[in-house]
């Protein structure tokens, strides 16, 4: 499975991606909104879980690589998450600090959203984050999500949930085609 955007290639990650992924997930600034920063074992487990997701679901978090160099700068993809006691399809993303604020998360998430609505039966796709994670919330909004709810949970204290429906996605596609 490979997705291509103007500047990025999203592909299945594997154990060869450990160093690049460790640079993202072990960075305490990037992971400040997570309950913990990843150590080596957690990063290896992250890769193994995504390899399993590819086999079981045909999707997971993919390696985000710069098209120009092939360098992995993070991950983005679709996973099934427990969001307010329901298992829902969720787009998540982590981009290495020196590549943030360049639109890579939006570009990758948009590609994943389009792939998911084109290839999977989901009526709605979600993104959720700790209430203090304003950059992630803004990114979710940038690829079409609207605020849905917030709720208290044991990990994040308060979790914010954003979503886009298939109907909203179709309407946005039709609107952008009409503008051409």
Residue 147: CATH number of its domain: 3.40.630.30
Q: Which of 80, 84, 81 is nearest to 151 (CA)?
A: 84
Q: Give pLDDT tens digits for 30-40.
A: 888 777 789 99
Q: What percent of the chain has pLDDT over 70?
A: 96
Number of domains in the chain: 1
- Asked whether the predicted pLDDT for residue 178 surpasses 60, the reply is no
Q: Could you tell me the residue range of the domain that residue 127 belongs to?
A: 2-178
Strand, coil or helix: 57: helix
Tokens matching residue 167: 């109907």
- Asked whether the predicted pLDDT for residue 121 surpasses 70, the reply is yes
| Poorest-pLDDT segment among 71-75, 140-144, 151-155 | 151-155
Orientation angle between helical segments 18-25 and 40-57, nearest 10 degrees: 110
Instruction: Give the integer Cα–Cα distance in Å for 167 and 150.
Output: 22
Residue 79 banded pLDDT, cuts 50, 70, 90: very high
Check residue 31 and give its pLDDT: 82
Check residue 97 and give its pLDDT: 94
- Write down the mean pLDDT value for the chain: 93
**Top-confidence residue, 154 or 97:** 97
Q: How many CB atoms lie within 10 A of CB 56?
A: 10
Give the DSSP letter string of 114-168.
Answer: HHHHHHS--SEEEEEEETT-HHHHHHHHHTT-EEEEEEEETTTEEEEEEEEEHHH
């Amino acid at each position: 499975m490979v997705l291509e955007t103007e500047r990025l290639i999203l592909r299945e990650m594997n154990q060869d991606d450990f160093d690049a992924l460790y640079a993202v997930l072990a960075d305490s600034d990037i992971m400040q909104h997570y309950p913990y920063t990843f150590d080596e074992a957690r990063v290896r487990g992250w890769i193994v879980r995504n390899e399993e997701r590819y086999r079981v679901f045909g999707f997971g978090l993919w390696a985000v690589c710069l098209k120009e160099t092939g360098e992995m700068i993070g991950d983005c993809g679709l996973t099934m998450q427990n969001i307010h006691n329901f298992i829902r399809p969720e787009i998540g993303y982590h981009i290495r600090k020196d590549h943030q604020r360049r639109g890579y998360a939006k570009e990758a998430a948009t590609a994943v959203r389009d792939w998911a609505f084109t290839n999977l039966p989901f009526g709605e796709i979600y993104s959720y984050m700790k209430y203090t994670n304003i950059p992630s919330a803004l990114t979710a909004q940038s690829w079409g999500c609207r605020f849905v709810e917030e709720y208290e949970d044991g990990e994040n204290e308060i979790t914010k949930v954003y979503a886009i429906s298939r109907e909203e996605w179709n309407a946005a596609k039709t609107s952008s085609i009409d503008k051409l």
